DNA sequence: TTTGTGTTGACCACATTGGTCAACAGTGCT
DNA sequence: AGCACTGTTGACCAATGTGGTCAACACAAA
């Protein structure tokens, strides 16, 4: 993806990528319209098909690009020396928000691709998943398990529930913050992180020793 | 809606309603396909347009039906004597799940209608909202405020955050339960309520006195 | 001048759209 | 029997939208 569009100025490149991501995150593959993509990206029909052989080709290249981006962006922000799971989850949530600021629909897109597989031939999805998805999922799993100090938790019997509560709360909070992005044009991350910390304090009090 | 389809046997009626709800919750108004609706409902094209004058008519009737259903189903399950807010939220979540069991996409549908208003003429949305939505929203608001004993909360400064945590947790939990509905064909509500209570116990421990 | 790259949008054959309508099956009334 | 009525069908329609092509143009480098 990045290499295919390497000759474009990056502003136009992002317009194409975001327009395609938006369309594919809004509609399943067959209903997604290349006409809409070019219209919203502000380019001509011909140009899109100059860079990509077909709609299917665009879709697959997009998946590769997105998963790579997510992998790099997230893994670079997680420190494997950090043993406090709640801090890691916080870092993860912040990383997600930073990505969503530049590419607003990336997560919706990738969730749609791998959950709601009607979008394309199932075999193709699995092939793509094998190509890009496994590392990504392994990394996500590592965040919750690798070198984590579970002894911080107050009640060993309910650790999984505790984790769910934290995760769900921070996710919903960040979703809510992101939904304000249309009104102001950019996010005030200091403020957002402060809010995150307030929720984390309440939760730590509840589930940590 | 109910009166229009009153002569149909209720099984066919539900098939039509659910099929239409699903299509409109999946796609915005213009992209929703009446062909899909009739195909999934297992009826002919002619029959749908025998009961409804147009796609727009079907859409509006559907909104009225859904909001009425939600209003009746929820308000009948909330007791205004109950002063414990967390118990009320629990009742609300359970009511939602019960509805989702019979009409799986009702909530997605109604959220889509009123948030993502591109779906139809904005004026029409507001008119419909005035017709059906106001009572519904008032009721939802009452659940969180009317005759609630806030003195149960440990820390008066963070009540809103506490409420958010509870709400978000129970919602995500119930979403997760509902997503298992495809595997088993029906929900074991006793088990689900037991799970809900486990989460509530953890949360009550810190946010209530 | 020639070659190459980025770019356009009119154009194509075909699929899908919302909606219509003549026809038919069945039921019940006269 | 005939008549009226309701529920139901699916072939059909004009209109719009589809993914994809291609000849042509602009501009820069050789």
Record the pTM. 0.87
Three-state SS for A27? coil
Q: Is B129 exposed, middle or buried (0-12, 13-18, 19+ CB in 10 A)?
A: middle
Question: How confident is the model over B79-126, as pLDDT tens digits?
Answer: 999 999 999 999 999 999 999 988 999 999 998 887 755 445 555 666
Question: How confident is the model over A97-109, as pLDDT tens digits?
Answer: 999 988 999 999 9
Side-chain half-sphere of A181: how many Cα atoms within 13 Å? 19
Q: What DSSP character marks residue A146? A: T
Closest chain A residue to the Cα of B164, Cα to Cα? A169
Picking from B31, B165, B198, the nearest residue to A169 by CB comes out as B165
Q: Chain-wide mean pLDDT for chain A?
A: 88
Handedness of CA B184, B186, B189, B190 (dihedral sign): negative
CB contact under 8 A, B199 and A165: yes
Q: Rounded to a whole number, what is the distance in angstroms from the first to the last CA of chain B?
A: 47
Nucleotides of D under 7 A from a protein CB: 6-12, 17-23
User: Which residues of chain B are within 8 Å of residue A165 when distances are taken between CB atoms?
Assistant: 165, 169, 199, 202-203
Q: Are the CB atoms for A167 and A140 separated by under 8 Å?
A: no
For A126, the token pair is: 């699995």
- In the complex, which nucleotide's C1' lies nearest to the CA atom of residue B51? D7
Confidence band of A119 (pLDDT split at 50, 70, 90): very low
A142/B104 Cα distance (integer angstroms)? 34
């Amino acid at each position: 993806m990045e290499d295919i569009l390497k000759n474009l100025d990056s502003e136009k490149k992002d317009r194409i990528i975001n327009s395609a991501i938006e369309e594919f995150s809004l509609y399943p593959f067959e209903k997604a319209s290349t006409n809409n993509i070019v219209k919203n990206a502000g380019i001509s029909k011909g140009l899109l098909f100059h860079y990509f052989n077909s709609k299917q080709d665009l879709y697959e290249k997009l998946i590769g690009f997105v998963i790579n981006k997510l992998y790099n962006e997230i893994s670079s922000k997680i420190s494997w020396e950090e043993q406090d799971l709640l801090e890691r989850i916080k870092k993860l949530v912040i990383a997600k928000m930073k990505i969503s600021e530049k590419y607003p629909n990336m997560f919706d897109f990738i969730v749609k691709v791998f959950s709601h597989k009607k979008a394309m031939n199932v075999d193709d999805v699995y092939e793509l998943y094998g190509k890009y998805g496994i590392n990504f999922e392994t990394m996500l799993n590592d965040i919750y398990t690798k070198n984590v100090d579970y002894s911080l938790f107050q009640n060993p019997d309910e650790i999984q529930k505790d984790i769910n509560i934290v995760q769900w709360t921070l996710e919903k909070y960040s979703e809510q913050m992101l939904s304000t992005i249309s009104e102001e044009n950019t996010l005030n991350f200091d403020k957002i992180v402060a809010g995150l910390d307030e929720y984390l304090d309440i939760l730590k009090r509840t589930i940590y020793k």
